[in-house]
Amino acid sequence: MTSYSVEVEFDSTISDDTAADLVDALNDVHGAVGAASSGNLSVILSIEASNVPDATAHAINRAQEAVTSVTHSPTLVTGVATMTEAEFDRRLADEPTPGDLAGQAEACNILGVSARTLEKLAGELAPHIVQTLATGPLYRASGLRNLARLHPLPPLEQALLNVISAKHAPSLSADPHYQRAEAALVLDETPFGTRTLFRTSDTQVRHALAALLERELVAPAPETNETLTGSPDLSSAVVLTARGHRHSRPLPTQSS
């Protein structure tokens, strides 16, 4: 014999007092009483049986008998779900905790992308969706963090981000990505303080900086109207966003 967990859903609701009576009536099968996603009455029973069909049939009969005894009226079963107790425990353990849930804004922060880019990643994100709400998907945050580790920023984008975050401290790295990022860096004193200004005709730096703006890891400095378009001698003042701070790393040393 195998232990099965069987959930039986009915087309009705009951009061709290009646629910307490129903739990007592189902004591021999460890009955649990609650509400299904539809809001209707749901009863979960622990049934010993040799197979799924037998467990399902026994649970339906036992649940209907108990519900009728406490409501004194016939009820209609609208659904049933049967699985072994072992599978029920496995699924229960796999349920995400509230702290492991992420909405769209949290997903963007974890992955370091904009909302527009998040939409483009729908295929990769699908396995990490816990539930889809009217406001959009709800993700398992731990899955998104694993995804972020598998898809780090391209080296030049990461170098630019780190250089901006370092507040103009020079890198001692011989890494060509850092050398290229720092070669484009110009410190610009304004009434608002020192801003990070990139002035370069280096196409790769321009594309990397544009990608950081698209990901919303950096933003145009508020005191400037300069953009990524214009003369070949690109001039763009940027500031690190809160998301950019979370994705920046310490500058490497000469030995690294």
pTM summary value: 0.45
In this predicted model, what pLDDT tens digit does every residue of 5-36 receive, in sequence order? 999 999 988 888 888 889 889 988 888 888 87
For Cα atoms 4, 8, 11, give the angle at the middle one, nearest 5 degrees.
Answer: 180
> Residue 111: its pLDDT value, please?
83
Structure tokens at 103: 């909405």
Q: Of 9, 1, 50, 55, which is closest to residue 29 (Cα–Cα)?
A: 55
Residue with tokens 């370091």: 112
In this predicted model, what pLDDT tens digit does every residue of 132-187 receive, in sequence order? 888 888 898 888 887 877 677 888 888 888 888 776 566 566 788 888 888 877 76
> Residue 232: its pLDDT value, please?
38
Handedness of CA 135, 141, 145, 150 (dihedral sign): negative
DSSP symbols for 50-102: SSHHHHHHHHHHHHHHHHHHHHSS---EEEEEEEEHHHHHHHHHHSPPGGGEE
In this predicted model, what pLDDT tens digit does every residue of 207-218 receive, in sequence order? 888 888 877 788
Are 185 and 167 a contacting pair, CB within 8 Å?
no
In angstroms, rounded to a whole number, what is the distance separating the alpha carbons of residues 206 and 227? 11
Range picked from 80-89, 175-184, 228-237, 247-256 for highest mean pLDDT: 80-89
User: Which helix (H) or strand (E) is 219 found in, with range?
Assistant: strand 218-220
Range picked from 40-44, 175-179, 189-193 for highest mean pLDDT: 40-44
Residue with tokens 């406490």: 70
